Structure 1
């Protein structure tokens, strides 16, 4: 029996559903993403599936393996490279926020939403909330170009975090860690805030690498 997709765009709905499964861990690293399999499961035409898979590949949520696509498998080197790009962006954003005394309201609201997740929230939902916080913090820096490039990188970051669930066993641990980070930025002490952010990112990277 085909799984129904409830949206105005079947292609966008398929992208959203496959993305959800990848980021929740329902689809494991290395698992194939085939046109025939998805077309059969969701009862949609193969061209629709092909277009959806192209979008997922563009967002780095699917990677080519021979002639087909599969859920990406991150190696330790992949994780290090991702943080190599991510870390200077977030550190510089923190420096600018403090130097210019910029408002932290978007980050505070995103973090409140993260903390407000119910006990039953899935790891995938917590990862989405985590991403929303970091995007909001970046937005506080007031750079239009940084706002454009950073969310795209977070697609891969979410894929990494989808494999990190065991490092945060309690539903509120993720929020608590980020409140500590936000408090450091709120302090106005640039050295403290940059150090806290660096330690936060290094801890996340080492948690992913194991």
Structure 2
């Protein structure tokens, strides 16, 4: 579904992504892993068009979208939950959710009912301002907002960061449900190894802007963890 070939990206004179190759298999849940500062968020932002790549291809469903403007990518069916959630704190829960509706291809003006089934707390707090929600509730709102566009690919950047353990478990269950029951392809950045092992099918490890290992999650052994993931 998503194939990245020879991607290079720079921050000023700093070369952050080096000839990076990566594949996200349709129908699976892939975890992008690595220590802080190795280029994980940068890669996601390149996929979403929030950062421009110097060279390389970003092929989504057979189409190279590397030159597409950011606002052209979500309508293709790519939902994005950024690190830190970035909801609109002064808008209500309902208003936050409705922001994604114009990106849908069916001209719908109603938030899909299944989002409230996935996240009952959002329906209960529909008229509360986003900034009044807890961190876990805001994360659920951010995921719900991404789902409003009816994506084929859902990208999440550290969805468990700063979230209480019981909500982390709920988010993990929801990701698996979206992947297994609905068939949504998922790419996520995650630092919590037990969560990644439970939720994802495949892994890709970055180190200094390069892919250094990838494969089925069962192949993520102690040697790889020690070399590339432990602090």
TM-score normalised over the length of structure 1: 0.27
Structure with bigger gyration radius:
1
Judging by fraction of residues, say which structure has more strand: 2
Judging by fraction of residues, say which structure has more helix: 1
TM-score normalised over the length of structure 2: 0.25
